Chain A
Amino acid sequence: GAGVSQTPSNKVTEKGKYVELRCDPISGHTALYWYRQSLGQGPEFLIYFQGTGAADDSGLPNDRFFAVRPEGSVSTLKIQRTERGDSAVYLCASSLGGTDEAFFGQGTRLTVV
């Protein structure tokens, strides 16, 4: 597709459940970022991939959060044992290289009930 695609657009899950959020970056973009945006706040960095490897995962809040990008394209953000505080919009962005303009997807709104 022409832009960054995130699926699902909305996800409601019960506390304690496992969820996966998917990001399809723009074709050819080697850099991929995940951000989390809580209500009324700006996006907060979670993790950065360059190719297949996580070059910086310093923003992941705890070990319940994990992300992969096995073939250097699609990425999946995985959250185990979800908590109500995980409710937020999860944004994915991609760029050609590390310092090029980042293009954002529309996000996945995660609600933990």
Chain B
Amino acid sequence: GDSVTQMEGPVTLSEEAFLTINCTYTATGYPSLFWYVQYPGEGLQLLLKATKADDKGSNKGFEATYRKETTSFHLEKGSVQVSDSAVYFCALRDAGGTSYGKLTFGQGTILTVHP
């Protein structure tokens, strides 16, 4: 079945540091890939997405590139801010044989950014 594996957390960085959160996936079809973010006290929000191989999703300075050859979708940001402190979830939606948006999530990575 489908699965998503994220790097172990938590991740603690100083402000303006470079961020990478690794994500790899297993899927039977041709999935769309997502990063969701959960800020303290808030619900899950879509951060960015990519729907096919070599697509790059970007939002709020975050980027992730859909790498089919390595089945990866690593999240990166060049300079993190304290306000980026949150839990980040990688997820996939397998379009193969389905016609709806069921998501499979990774376990989440807690990011804490210190001033």
Contact = CB atoms under 8 A, between A and B. Distances in A.
A33 interface: yes
B108 interface: yes
A104 B100 contact: no
B22 interface: no
Contacts of A56: 100, 102
Nearest to B109: A42
Given A33-B102, A99-B93, 16 more contacts: A31-B101, A40-B108, A42-B105, A42-B106, A43-B103, A45-B103, A48-B100, A56-B100, A91-B43, A98-B101, A99-B99, A99-B101, A101-B46, A102-B46, A104-B44, A107-B43
B34 to A, nearest CB: 9
B45 A104 contact: yes
B107 interface: yes
A93 to B, nearest CB: 8
A99 B99 CA distance: 7
A102 B101 contact: yes
A42 B108 contact: yes
Contacts of A102: 46, 101, 103
A5 B94 CA distance: 27
Nearest to B38: A104
B80 interface: no
Contacts of A44: 105
A87 interface: no
A40 to B, nearest CB: 7
Contacts of B106: 42
Given A91-B44, A99-B93, A105-B43, A41 B107 contact: yes
